[in-house]
Amino acid sequence: MLPTNGLTEMEIADLLPTILKLLELRRRFAVATVLSCAGSTPVRAGAKAVIGPRGVLAGTVGGGVVEAEAQRQAASAIRSGRAAVFEFP
């Protein structure tokens, strides 16, 4: 069994069809992953979202301003073709 880091196995499995379809269609996308958390948060480390140039396609990294910033960072990474890591205060 794979470690889930706070996601249920179903949530991880839910992302795979989206990723496979995007690859099949040769669409660009990013996978955002929560690397660490502090305090009370809606998701734990390991939470993931598949993000396209126009927003979240599947999953979540917590919603609200964190998710909005993740979408902005993902769109930038998709445009540049470079991975990005950002810290949210």
- Which pLDDT value is given to residue 46? 87
Percent of the chain at pLDDT exceeding 70: 87
Q: Say if residue 63's pLDDT is above 80.
A: yes
pTM summary value: 0.81
4-31 confidence digits (pLDDT tens): 455 555 467 789 999 999 999 999 999 9
Residues of the domain holding 72:
9-80
Local structure of residue 67 (DSSP, 8 states):
H
Domain count, the chain: 1
Residue 44 forms part of a structural domain: yes
Report whether 47 contacts 6 (CB < 8 A). yes
- Which pLDDT value is given to residue 38? 87
In angstroms, the Cα distances linking 40 to 12, 18, 31, 45, 62 are: 22, 29, 23, 12, 11
The average pLDDT across 43-62 equals: 90
Residue 49 forms part of a structural domain: yes
